[in-house]
């Protein structure tokens, strides 16, 4: 859902700062509210939601052994690299016979 929110916990990642947690919470609330900046009448509710989600996120990370440290958001240049995307493996070719599909035998699967 929120692909723009970077993971705040990882083996090689620097510890998440309270600025990182706040930015992630704000991005989440923006996505849910479908707005980048709320109307003046909704600003208090928007800010309260950000604060609640940031607090819940900090509790979650602390419970998982990755406490949040004080500080400004980590600049993107210091973010750890993303893991490579998984590439789907090619499957064995499928032969279509009539209205049934069967897998072709590979050399390792063929009878002796």
Output the average pLDDT for the chain: 80
Size of the chain, expressed as the number of residues it contains: 112
Query: Which carries the bigger pLDDT value, residue 7 or residue 71?
Result: 71
- Closest among 30, 44, 42, 37 to 1, alpha carbons compared: 30
Site of tokens 């990182």: 20
Give the model's pLDDT for residue 78: 77
- Say yes or no to pLDDT of 97 above 90: no
Pairing, β 100-103 against β 94-97: antiparallel
Give the model's pLDDT for residue 11: 59
Measured CA distances, 84 to 68, 81, 87 (Å): 26, 9, 9
């Amino acid at each position: 859902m929120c692909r723009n929110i970077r993971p705040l916990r990882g083996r090689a990642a620097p510890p998440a700062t309270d600025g990182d947690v706040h930015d992630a919470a704000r991005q989440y609330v923006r996505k849910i509210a479908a707005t980048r900046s709320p109307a003046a009448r909704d600003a208090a509710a928007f800010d309260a939601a950000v604060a609640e989600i940031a607090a819940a996120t900090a509790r979650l990370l602390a419970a998982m052994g990755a406490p949040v440290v004080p500080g400004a958001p980590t600049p993107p240049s210091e973010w750890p690299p993303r893991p490579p995307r998984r590439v789907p493996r090619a499957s064995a070719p499928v032969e279509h016979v009539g209205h049934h599909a069967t897998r072709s035998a590979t050399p390792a699967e063929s009878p002796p």
